[in-house]
Chain A
Amino acid sequence: MKARGKDIVTIEGISSGKRGELHPLQEAFIKHFAVQCGYCTPGMIMAAKALLDENPKPTEEKIKEYLCGNLCRCTGYTKIIEAVLAAATKM
């Protein structure tokens, strides 16, 4: 019930530009090879988006804090953190 009256955005809803342009986080995840099997990717991107919406210039520590609830078992976290840092510079 915590979501009552709130908007819920999922991964499908963030590249909603006119031509379906990608969100800077999506671009960065592709470019920085932060995607491998891809299973965790939507969760990682949405958690990172929540962070960047609140804090457009996060430190690496802050990124780790926001992503700590998401597990990745293939790329590891280095590439993902790099991608979030790179996206922050583009927003």
Chain B
Amino acid sequence: MAELSVVGKNVIKVDALEKVTGRAKYASEEGIGIPGMLYGKILYSPYAHAKILKIDTSKASRIKGVRAVLTGKDTPEHRSGWMVDDRHILCHERVRFVGDAVAVVAADNREAAEESLDLIEVEYEELPALFDPEEANET
């Protein structure tokens, strides 16, 4: 068999030099990105299971530099997932785990996005949640 150029050989990682010398840049660093890029922040559910009664984004939208504040109402009925296609892009009427995405902000800079996110008001009605796999099997 013809000798292979890479398989079976020790190859040096292409970006190893930049990384061991501290020259590599990461997404969170200043000066990274493209002109006009927006910064996104996601508001996550603090509850394992709850009904979303109301979301008020009016204060959040008024922050200078905020371009968009979106909630489930702004996203289509489309669902996707890893094993089962059961997740909305943003939660619609209910949140189903701590960390379920409820709203998203896009802004000119990170600070505006964070400030805006803090001003999104969500009213939840907490619902019973399952924390035990055996209990879950019984339902």
Q: Could you list which residues of chain A lie within 8 angstroms of chain B, going by C-beta atoms?
A: 10-12, 15, 22, 26, 29-31, 33, 35-36, 38-39, 41-42, 45
* Contact in complex: A35, B13 (CB < 8 Å): yes
* Contact in complex: B16, A10 (CB < 8 Å): no
* Contact in complex: B26, A39 (CB < 8 Å): yes
- Identify which of A10, A22, A30 contacts B12 (C-beta below 8 A): A30
Within 8 A of A (CB), among B21-56: 21-24, 26
Q: Could you list which residues of chain B lie within 8 angstroms of chain A, going by C-beta atoms?
A: 12-13, 15-24, 26
* Contact in complex: A35, B20 (CB < 8 Å): yes
Residues of A within 8 A of B15 (CB): 38
Number of CB contacts from chain A to chain B under 8 A: 39
* Contact in complex: B22, A30 (CB < 8 Å): no
| Nearest A residue to B19, CB-CB | A38
> Given the known A-B contacts A35-B13, A35-B16, A38-B15, are A15 and B24 also in contact in the complex, defined by CB atoms under 8 Å?
no
21 contacts between A and B (CB under 8 A): A12-B22, A12-B23, A22-B17, A22-B20, A22-B21, A30-B12, A30-B13, A30-B17, A30-B20, A31-B12, A33-B13, A35-B13, A35-B16, A35-B19, A35-B20, A38-B15, A38-B16, A38-B18, A38-B19, A41-B19, A45-B20
Q: How far is the CA of A35 from the CA of B18 in the complex (A)?
A: 10
